[in-house]
Structure 1
Amino acid sequence: MQDKHIGFIGAGNMAKALIQGMVQSGQFAPAHIRFNDKLQSEHHPLEIAGQSIVSMDKEGLVTWSDVLVLAVKPQDLFNLLREVDPLATERKLFISIAAGIDIAGLTKSLSVAHPVVRAMPNTSARVLASATALTGNAAVTPGDMALAERIFQCVGAVVQVEESQMPGVTGLSGSGPAYVYAFLRAMIEGGVSLGLSHDTASQLAIQTLRGAVEMAAASEDDLDTLIRQICSPNGTTLAGMKVLETRHFQEHVMEAIQASAQRSEELRRELQADIRE
């Protein structure tokens, strides 16, 4: 992996998180990572994880790179591809992290049959704990996908999915951190309503959530079993669980995930309406 030249177009939070993870992992040499960003001077490197990542002009970056990570806003992606396409005369692996742009739209925007991987990480990449899903076009080889996986494994867990499953990924893991934060906020406010200080309630709620997630990941028991293990007959947890069931907690969370997935499909159609036929 050390010999691949990896160029980032766009240097926002997600790109910086990826570069940080790649550098800290030791699997990618900082000298083999470069970037271009319209808001960053070409003469000022990014200082990430104690390393300087060099900026290049767009034309130079495209020529230099074996892998191009497209880390711009979705509404800017097609204009970027129109600029990049005539510069990418040799085979390159394109990786897009733009939400709502599918493989067909990305592939259609390139005149050469480049391998294209679509990635859906989430904001937890900033603490190297992302859940990322990848899918690729027909030109992607096992080696291409292995390289894409290695990049995103630097910021968390990675799975491969079919393109048709990407809306579900968006609803679940793409938007999921917001649902978790909302649940965490409710737990904290519940503790505060019973007389705990906000700081104490926050510490207890965050550690409770962290411990439960780690338990779910480590245990061989399914979630229903783990719930039953806490819910003693006529006990305190069962009283709380009955409230969640009465309020249709599970159904509401499922509906939120489905609504997010549906909106991702709507955005895909809106964003790709201007693709040249």
Structure 2
Amino acid sequence: MKILFIGTGHMGSALISGIKSNNNFKEQIFVFNRTYEKSLDVSKKYNVIPVKKLEHLNYDIVVLGIRPADFEQLAVDLKKFTLEKQTFVTMINALSIKQASDIFGNNKLNIVRIMPNMNAAIQQSVTAYSSNKINSEVTKFVIEMFSNCGTVEEIPEDKFPAFTALAGCSPSYIFTFLNGFYKYALKNGFSKDQAYRIMKNTIIGSTEYSTNSDNSFDELINSICVPNGSTIEGQKVLETNNFQDIIIKALEAAKQKS
């Protein structure tokens, strides 16, 4: 298989990093960007092949990692080539499979829509996918390829906006949450390294504990918030300020733009 990534910004580079972490992955990966310098940088970092100019589209899989505003012009450029055997993988926000097919002017293209997150770089992404099932064999390969970046979930395409908020956007909100703990630790005299260790182990431990527990989140919260204890005083502040509602509003706002 020959795989071309068009657009290797933060997300495209994270996916390549995840894929290349598997030493048994022997397929050729090519990268094309607005500037050749960018492609050269990515090629050196991940041992992939830079493309200076799109003079053909003789690739089995084309991964689109560009901004939504740039897609129509890219489609015009790509339609100069014969489009029939390629599988297009799009992670372009808010672009449906049908919209992509219509813009390409070809309803026979195999298109796989994905939504990964930045954790792909450390093989911990949760990546959603949906496809038009025109070429199931290549689609299966695409799923296996992105499995190197973490877990892959097939979801109905109408769930993509909510999934984008939950898994694609949420790392930013989680980092904001962590930043509050970090600033509090520094304010109270902990070193940067110690603050990171405390947060990392507490967050990872709490997450693993919750996934291994049969109790609901409310039950877990109540088990820690003992009457007259210190935890419940902080919990009261969160509840008074509608902390959960703020999270839901943030996710809903992200969903509306997806």
**TM-score (ref. length: structure 2):** 0.88
Determine which of 132, 148, 153 is the counterpart of 1:154. 148
Moved over 4 A (4+): 41-45
Moved more, 204-213 or 172-181: 204-213
Listed one character per residue, the Cα deviations across residues 25-80 of structure 1 (whole Å, up to 9, x for unaligned) are: 134215x212222311599581234x3434363233x12x1111112222111111
CA change 1:216–1:147 in 2 (3 A) is farther
Alignment pair present for 1:135 and 2:105: no
CA change 1:78–1:28 in 2 (3 A) is farther
SS of structure 2 residue aligned to 1:183: helix
- What's the CA shift for 1:252? 0.9
Matched residues, percent identical?
29
CA change 1:239–1:162 in 2 (3 A) is same
**2:215 corresponds to which residue?**
221
Q: Is the 8 A contact 1:34 1:56 kept in 2?
A: no
CA distance in 1, matches of 2:45, 2:191: 37
Determine which of 110, 116, 121 is the counterpart of 2:116. 121
Determine which of 4, 12, 20 is the counterpart of 1:7. 4
Q: Which runs of 5+ in 1 are unaligned?
A: 265-277
Q: Which amino acid aligns with 1:251?
A: D
The number of residues matched between the two structures is 256
Determine which of 238, 249, 252 is the counterpart of 1:255. 249
Listed one character per residue, the Cα deviations across residues 175-223 of structure 1 (whole Å, up to 9, x for unaligned) are: 1011101111112233344444454333312321122223233434332
Q: Quote the RMSD (CA, aligned, Å).
A: 2.4
Q: How does 1:1-277 map to 2 (within 5 A)?
A: 4-30=1-27, 32-40=28-36, 44=40, 46-49=43-46, 51-55=47-51, 57-60=53-56, 62-63=57-58, 65-112=59-106, 113-137=108-132, 139=134, 141=136, 143-264=137-258
**TM-score (ref. length: structure 1):** 0.82
Q: Which amino acid aligns with 1:8?
A: F
CA distance in 1, matches of 2:243, 2:75: 43
Q: Which amino acid aligns with 2:253?
A: A
Listed one character per residue, the Cα deviations across residues 79-130 of structure 1 (whole Å, up to 9, x for unaligned) are: 1112112413332210011112222210112233111111111222233322
- What's the CA shift for 1:255? 0.7
Q: Which runs of 5+ in 2 are unaligned?
A: none
